[in-house]
Structure 1
Amino acid sequence: MAGEEEKPLDETKSYMGIPEAQFVEDVDAFMSKDDNANNAQNVIKRLDEQLNKYKFMEVHLQAKRKKLKSQIPEIKSSLQIVKEMKSRKDAADPIETTFLLSDQVYMKANIPPTDRVCLWLGANVMLEYDLEDAECLLSKNLNKATVNLKQVDHDLDFLRNQGTTTEVTMARIYNWDVKRRRMQKAKEGEKP
């Protein structure tokens, strides 16, 4: 749209406020912190809860993505119809077409030239627009849906990265705990 610049996606952040997973470089230092207190089970439990939250968010984003993926073709189709009606509004011949009544049921129709169109807005609301306003509204909705789809795709990628980081951190802490326990058993075995 004129006057609206599309902002580039920031690869390092989420648009839905998804918390960033912390990558643990030094497990010994991480586990010695007061809130971890060298208790690997509690830390792994906390990270598992975070991982489950990421999975829940992923389900939500997948549903939003699916909805947007179905909306965009519908908006494009409506926009194309409005453009066709606009190009033929001064013609004398009616537009001969078929339209969908319900699933798998189509009906032939002759549409006389007109400068008005009715659009479903959702929530059982339909409004009548002139062709210019309808084209503007549909173009704006298409642009917004496309931008939202890009943001959802970006957030899904970001979310997958956070889940992977969390899983890697859980594995590193588990391995740290196994190593620590082995060292404790070895020390206990050395004592006379």
Structure 2
Amino acid sequence: MTTTTSISTSNPPSNPRDYVKSPDPAEVESTLTRFQEMISKYQFMSQNVERRAAGLREKLPEMRKSLDTVRFLRMRKGKASRDSGAEQDEGGDGDGLEEGSADANGMIETTYALQDTLYAHATVNTQELDSVYLWLGANVMVAYPLDEAESMLKEKLDKAKESLKAAEEDLEFIRVQTTTLEVATARVHNWDVGEKRKKKESG
């Protein structure tokens, strides 16, 4: 006999006869076993996709932070260049430089992480800053011009967002498939119990 295991997730059949063509115990058991194997496969797939999605969710904040940092450095470099040019045009002598003059000179003070709990202090001259160093993984660091660094980081961030969205869609599809299979399993099992009861009562 042929066992039917085709399932529609949008509108799963309510009649177990759509899955099992006869109450033969061997066919019922074969159908239930196949359903359980399919459920196990979807559960395995769900674990893998969930791990991938979790990794992306963990990386996204760091990727946004890196992109925001590069954009900030570009902005400060451009502002410092404009302020410096304006000062030369106005013949400013630089007297009475307060907090705002730090912007004009392009100097910023910051701290950066050496390790998870270890930070160092640094002073950066954004007027002389032409490139940044980015970790590419596997202990590899590469210098990129600011424009290229921003473009690459934005591209990677966009791809990571797309990958996360695709992973979430896959998870939803797997959940629907798993639920449908579990419902189908319950229907076949209950139908089998009813058929056995009828057979026993009919003697």
Does TM, scored on the shorter chain, surpass 0.5? yes
Separation in 2, partners of 1:85, 1:29: 64
Change (3 A) 1:153 1:129: same
Superposition map of 1:1-192 within 5 A: 21-22=7-8, 23-32=12-21, 39-90=27-78, 91=80, 92-113=105-126, 114-188=129-203
CA RMSD of aligned residues (A): 1.9
Deviation at 1:158, TM superposition (A): 1.0
* Contact 1:31 1:37 (C-alpha < 8 Å) held by counterparts: no
Separation in 2, partners of 1:61, 1:120: 25
Q: TM-score, normalised by structure 2?
A: 0.76
Deviation at 1:101, TM superposition (A): 1.2
Residues 101-156 of structure 1, C-alpha deviations (whole Å, 9 max, x = no match): 11222111112220101111112222111000000001111111111111111111
Deviation at 1:73, TM superposition (A): 0.7
Q: Name the amino acid aligned to 1:171.
A: A
Deviation at 1:187, TM superposition (A): 1.5
Bigger Rg over Cα:
2
Question: Which structure's residues are more often helix, by fraction?
Answer: 2
* Contact 1:78 1:138 (C-alpha < 8 Å) held by counterparts: yes
Give SS of 2:135's match: strand
Deviation at 1:29, TM superposition (A): 3.8
Gap regions ≥5 residues in structure 1: 1-19
Residues 62-107 of structure 1, C-alpha deviations (whole Å, 9 max, x = no match): 1111110011111110001101111122533322111111122211
Separation in 1, partners of 2:114, 2:34: 52
Change (3 A) 1:159 1:176: same
Aligned residue pairs total 167
Q: TM-score, normalised by structure 1?
A: 0.81
Separation in 2, partners of 1:30, 1:54: 19
Gap regions ≥5 residues in structure 2: 1-5, 81-104
Separation in 2, partners of 1:103, 1:133: 27
